[in-house]
Structure 1
């Protein structure tokens, strides 16, 4: 967090030759939105006086005359390094407020901050480190992405097999100019699939970084004549792309509350995991929000399929994995979300579920290893968007965290998406059935 004051922002805009400042926020489904202003409107923007009409933004009022206001978070001021160096472009993430300067109840960033405020009252501070995977695809003559690729590189392969090495390099250099601490990058297991890992921060800052990361990846890929997609499963027969979240929790003295004795997990960690398992069926509608999300969550492709946790790194079917680093580094890796989610809402729901487990001292659910040794059944994660919709509607937890208005918007949109998909006749059906029946 930079802690810039209004005076600092105004001075930087002048000294850095900033011609446009983007006031960024997102809709209910994580789609980035912004209003661009010139330096002449910066004073008004910093006072929360820049508004937008809500009717065209999902998750806010659809009344044509309704207005909401953007309150910039000055700590998020950054300059886009890929934009022209003369007449530069900067951005700030914003909170959404009403005319009375009260936080908008359906603003995803506000919802996440509310969960973090609750955690703070419980004496808990979270840190989130994400892992995002994506595909770099070629484009056709119309500039549209083509799912097929001639590349054949696999896990950790290098150039010339890895065709995206230079694109990744350019992405990383641009991210570092925006104060990302990039940990590593590599080619993933599927052809044309890549991963870039960066150091996270508090939940809200990490969510901002995920939004920035996706924009940077897509923008830099375009400059190289590629198309970057975070679609969970763009290619049949290969691994899909996920958004793994490494969650750490600390008390007010900086102690990792997930770390137990003798390298075991603490009771708080086990209760947190149980809270996640208890509510993940409902959360899946937000963490895995597309029809395509569930094409990734199937066995045989190193993706989680079971509502379980494991301390064995080779067990790829479990939703939660416990990395081997212990002590202050002890973390819980949540493996089922994908990067098409709204990160603010997905992280808010996951943290809230874990907090509920801690607050109510949930009895630990058995690990996958224990469950198998005792011949206990392991429940499947939702296998379709339709199952997630029903789970979301059946569990009041998600509605309580998101609020009734936003939850209803989410359900309506996803029911429409599921209905459209169910009415679609796929090429697989035509191939399997047309000449047989």
Structure 2
């Protein structure tokens, strides 16, 4: 049974003096969009009658087929706590539908729903718990973002060194008002870098939560005169921001990854899921790490994974199995960054893991050594491949992976590849400051 009924929402809008409702959805590149309506239109909204022009959204539809409808997920209704207390603003996260009543194939939320149905057909529910990192930077006199921070804090430090502590606390409290269960928040390794972790849940709700989290962080930072960014590597020679994803499959209410009889207390399904992730990670890297900038994080020396390997306790591995067992048994994928579209990322990870289960794959031997300190020759000797080292390489791997592109569907796969290749070509044609300083005088 759902959290809210239509009548609940109508009552809450009256009782809470809600004047505006944001009908939110996400494009294929992970950008949050919305159509704002007044409370007088809530009946039409709940009936799925709010239209929008899909041709204006990159990767959606052509001009000649532009009419689309937003159907709200009633359980996502929430008041935005940072908006005015009089004439409040609420939001509903929506699915995108065609005029004929069919689900739009280019809706990222729909892509994840299709993947979850495959898991359900195999008897599984899929849970995901993200760990998002971000930077808080100062703005200039015109309010434009900089990469400056007066922050001198390091890992787990607190005020007065942590100048972003009050903003981080405000973010946590606002998110709890919206129903989040915040498990931890702390300063990260780099100056101005922060992490807030919230409790795992079903993958669809978790992806919704990530989109809400990003909006809250950016909005509250701006309110406090700061700029929040989820750019993976905004500062050279400093740690980048990741979005580690913890995943688990449940079957009949029990964690399907747990087996107390195994030396690592992992079930055969867990090993197969790990093997599926390792097999397809090059193919979905363009989804988990979608920017040119993403690959400046995935380099040696900054605690980001570069090698396709797994381990139970080794944090240098791409896939790590955290200590908790029993219901807490999970697989942690450490490569994704917070610029990704969470719906497509979760769909790809789930599809890869399920493919490993269907095919009965076995993962390669566990790597217990520090991968950050292993030479290329040592990695090659152990047969440890590397992640794609550029967006171009990742896009080529995505196009070649039929399992991942099938999970996206022909429309999303084609539009994603086209848009991201355009981004790569735009980057390739730029002349950077580094090039000028390196070559202008010498040559």
The alignment's TM-score, normalised by the length of structure 2, stands at: 0.95
Q: Which residue of 1 aligns with 2:235?
A: 235
CA 59–135 in structure 1, closer or farther in 2 if over 3 Å, else same: same
Q: How does 1:156-305 map to 2 (within 5 A)?
A: 156-252=156-252, 254-260=253-259, 261-262=261-262, 263-305=264-306
Give the deviation of 1:65 after TM superposition.
5.3
CA distance in 1, matches of 2:401, 2:13: 47
Q: Determine whether 1:112 maps to 2:112.
A: yes
Q: What runs of 5+ residues in structure 2 fail to find an aligned partner?
A: 372-377
Q: Which residue of 1 aligns with 2:307?
A: 306
Q: Determine whether 1:348 maps to 2:347.
A: yes
Cα deviation code 1:162-206 (max 9, x no counterpart) = 111101111111111001110111100000000011112100000
CA distance in 2, matches of 1:258, 1:379: 25
Cα deviation code 1:380-419 (max 9, x no counterpart) = 0011001101111111122211111111111111111111
Q: Which residue of 2 aligns with 1:153?
A: 153
Q: Which residue of 2 aligns with 1:133?
A: 133
Q: What do you get for the CA RMSD once the two structures are aligned? A: 1.6
CA distance in 2, matches of 1:386, 1:354: 24
CA distance in 1, matches of 2:156, 2:320: 21
CA distance in 2, matches of 1:374, 1:271: 23
Cα deviation code 1:59-118 (max 9, x no counterpart) = 210215520101110011000000001010001111111112111111110110111111
CA distance in 2, matches of 1:92, 1:144: 30
The alignment's TM-score, normalised by the length of structure 1, stands at: 0.97
CA distance in 2, matches of 1:223, 1:235: 23
Give the deviation of 1:149 after TM superposition.
2.4
Q: Determine whether 1:75 maps to 2:85.
A: no
Aligned length: 434
Q: Which residue of 1 aligns with 2:374?
A: none
Q: Secondary structure at the match of 1:28?
A: coil
Give the deviation of 1:355 after TM superposition.
0.6
Query: Any conservation in 2 of the 1:270–1:365 contact (CA below 8 Å)?
Result: no
Query: Any conservation in 1 of the 2:136–2:227 contact (CA below 8 Å)?
Result: yes
Query: Any conservation in 2 of the 1:54–1:64 contact (CA below 8 Å)?
Result: no
CA distance in 1, matches of 2:346, 2:364: 21
Q: Which residue of 1 aligns with 2:320?
A: 321
CA distance in 1, matches of 2:257, 2:122: 15
CA distance in 1, matches of 2:159, 2:255: 40
CA 373–25 in structure 1, closer or farther in 2 if over 3 Å, else same: closer
Give the counterpart of 2:431 among 425, 428, 435.
425
Q: Determine whether 1:366 maps to 2:350.
A: no
CA distance in 2, matches of 1:78, 1:342: 21
Q: Secondary structure at the match of 1:195?
A: strand
Cα deviation code 1:253-307 (max 9, x no counterpart) = x111111224432111111011111111110111100000000000100000011
Give the deviation of 1:375 after TM superposition.
4.2
Give the deviation of 1:339 after TM superposition.
0.8
Query: Any conservation in 2 of the 1:368–1:378 contact (CA below 8 Å)?
Result: no
Q: Which moved more, 1:72-81 or 1:366-375?
A: 366-375
CA distance in 2, matches of 1:349, 1:186: 29
Q: Determine whether 1:50 maps to 2:50.
A: yes
Q: What runs of 5+ residues in structure 1 fail to find an aligned partner?
A: none
Cα deviation code 1:18-51 (max 9, x no counterpart) = 0011111011111011111112111111111111
Q: Secondary structure at the match of 2:405?
A: helix
Give the deviation of 1:374 after TM superposition.
11
CA distance in 2, matches of 1:49, 1:373: 56
Q: Secondary structure at the match of 1:60?
A: coil
CA distance in 2, matches of 1:359, 1:152: 49
